[in-house]
A and B are shown apart, each in its own frame.
Chain A
Amino acid sequence: MDQNELRSIVEAERSERRPVQVRVCTASACLASRSREVAGRLRAAAEGAGLGDRVDVREVGCLRLCSEGPLVKVEPEGVLYERVGVDQADSIVGAIGGGTAEARVGDLSEPFFARQLPIVLENSGAVEPERIASYLAAGGYGQLRRVLREMTPQQVVEAITRSGIRGRGGAGYPTGLKWATVAKMPPGRKFVVCNADEGDPGAFMDRSVLESDPQRVLEGMAIAGYAVGADQGYVYLRGEHPLTIRRLRLAIDQARRLGVLGSGIFDSPFNFRIDLRIGAGAYVCGEETALMASIEGRRGTPHPRPPYPAQSGLWGSPTLINNVETLANIPAIVREGADRFAAIGTASSKGTKVFALAGNVRRSGLVEVPMGTSLRTIVEEIGGGAPEGRSIKAVQTGGPSGGCIPAAHLDTPVDYESLKALGSIMGSGGMIVMDDRADMVDVARYFMEFCRDESCGKCIPCRAGTVQLHRMLVRIRDGQATRDELHRLEGLCEMVRHASLCGLGQAAPSPVLSTLRFFREEYESRLIGG
Chain B
Amino acid sequence: MSVHTLRIDEKDVSARAGQTILEAARENGIAIPTLCHLEGLSNVGACRLCLVEVAAVGGGTRLMAACVTAAAEEMVIQTDTERLREYRKMIVELLFAERNHVCSVCVANNHCELQDMAVAQGVDHVRYDYLEPTCGVDLSHQRFGLDHNRCILCTRCVRACDEVEGAHTWDVSGRGTLSRVVADLNTPWGASETCTSCGKCVMACPTGALFHQGSTVSEMIHERTRLSFLVDAREKKQWNA
User: Interface with A: B40-48, B103-111, B188-196, which one?
Assistant: B40-48
The smallest C-beta distance from A121 to any residue of chain B, in angstroms, reads 34
Instruction: Tell me if A's interface is mostly helix, strand, loop or mixed.
Output: helix
Contacts of B97 in A (CB 8 A): 464, 468
Taken residue by residue from 66 to 97, chain B's Cβ proximity to chain A (1 for < 8 Å, 0 otherwise) reads as 00110000000000000000110011001101
Complex interface: chain A residues within 8 A of B127 (CB) = 488
The residue in chain B whose Cβ has the minimal distance to the Cβ of A468 is: B128
Closest to A488 in B: B127
* Beta-carbon contact of B45 and A467 below 8 Å: no
Q: How far is the CB of A169 from chain B (nearest CB, A)?
A: 22
- CB contacts (< 8 Å) of A452 on chain B: these are 176-177
Complex: how many Å from CA A151 to CA B94? Answer: 56
Instruction: Find chain B residues with CB under 8 A from A455 CB.
Output: 175-177
- Given A495-B87, A499-B63, A499-B87: A457 and B178 interface contact (C-beta under 8 Å): yes
B130-169 contacts to A (CB < 8 Å): 131, 152-153
B23 in the interface (beta carbon within 8 A):
no
**A463-B153, A498-B87 given; A456·B94 CB < 8 A:** no
**Cα distance A505–B177 when bound, in Å?**
13
Q: Answer yes or no: B214 CB below 8 A from chain A CBs.
A: no
Across the interface, B47 reaches (CB within 8 A) one of A454, A459, A466, namely A459
List of B residues within 8 angstroms of A282 by Cβ: 175
Q: Which of A461, A467, A495 contacts B177 (CB 8 A)?
A: A467
B2 contacts chain A at the CB level, 8 A cutoff: no
Contact at A499–B91, with CB atoms within 8 Å?
A: yes
Q: Do the beta carbons of B90 and A491 come within 8 Å of each other? A: yes
Cβ < 8 Å to B, chain A residues 112-149:
none
Q: Please tell me which one of the listed residues A458, A460, A491 contacts residue B94 in the complex, with CB atoms under 8 A apart.
A: A460
- Indicate if B29 sits at the interface (CB-CB under 8 A): no
Whether A501 pairs with B91 at a CB distance below 8 angstroms is no
Is the beta-carbon distance between A457 and B177 smaller than 8 angstroms?
yes
CB distance from B199 to the nearest CB of A (A): 24
User: A461 is contacted by which of B48, B128, B152, B176 (Cβ under 8 Å)?
Assistant: B48
B90 and A457 form a contact (CB under 8 A): no
Q: Which of B131, B172, B175 has the most CB of A within 10 A?
A: B175
> Which residues of chain A are near B51, meaning CB under 8 Å?
499
B 9-53 contacts with A by CB, 8 A: 44-48, 51
Contact A461 B91 (CB under 8 A): yes
Tell whether, in the assembled complex, residue B44 and residue A458 are in contact, meaning their CB atoms are under 8 Å apart.
yes
List the B residue with the shortest CB-CB distance to A492. Answer: B90
The interface size of chain B toward A, counting residues with CB under 8 Å, comes to 32
Complex formed: what's the CA distance from A139 to B47 in Å? 52
Given contacts A304-B68, A463-B153, A499-B87, is CB(A453)–CB(B47) below 8 Å? no
Nearest B residue (CB) for A461: B48
Query: In chain A between 428 and 487, which residues have their CB closer than 8 angstroms to a CB of chain B?
Result: 452-461, 463-468, 471
A467 to B95, CA, bound (A): 12
Find chain A residues with CB under 8 A from B172 CB. Answer: 299, 457
Q: Are B45 and A457 in contact (CB under 8 A)?
A: no
* Contacts known (A471-B129, A498-B63, A499-B91); A457 close to B176, Cβ less than 8 A: yes
- Asked whether, in the complex, the Cβ of A463 is within 8 Å of the Cβ of B91, the reply is no
Pick the residue among B69, B90, B176 that contacts A466 (CB under 8 A): B176
B6 within 8 Å of A by Cβ? Answer: no
Find chain B residues with CB under 8 A from A460 CB: 46-48, 91, 94-95, 152
For the complex, what is the distance from the CA of A526 to the CA of B168, rounded to whole Å? 51
Report whether A456 and B175 are in contact in the complex, using a CB–CB cutoff of 8 Å.
yes
Give Cα A452–Cα B131 distance, bound, in whole angstroms: 14
**What CA separation (Å) do A459 and B152 show in the bound complex?**
10
A234 vs chain B, min Cβ distance (A): 23
The residues in B between 170 and 223 inclusive whose CB is less than 8 angstroms from any CB of A are 171-172, 174-179
CB neighbours (8 Å) of A362 from chain B are: none
Contact B176 A459 (CB under 8 A): no
B65 on interface, CB distance cutoff 8 Å: yes
Residue ID in chain A nearest B154 by CB atoms: A460
Contact present for A461 and B63 (CB under 8 Å): no
CB pairs A–B below 8 angstroms (13 shown): A284-B175, A299-B172, A303-B44, A457-B179, A458-B153, A459-B46, A461-B94, A463-B98, A467-B98, A467-B131, A498-B87, A499-B51, A501-B46
Smallest CB-CB A-B distances: 8 pairs: A457-B179, A464-B94, A455-B176, A304-B45, A468-B128, A464-B98, A304-B68, A499-B48
Question: 5 other contacts beyond A461-B91, A499-B63, with CB at 8 A cut-off?
Answer: A461-B48, A464-B95, A464-B97, A467-B176, A471-B129
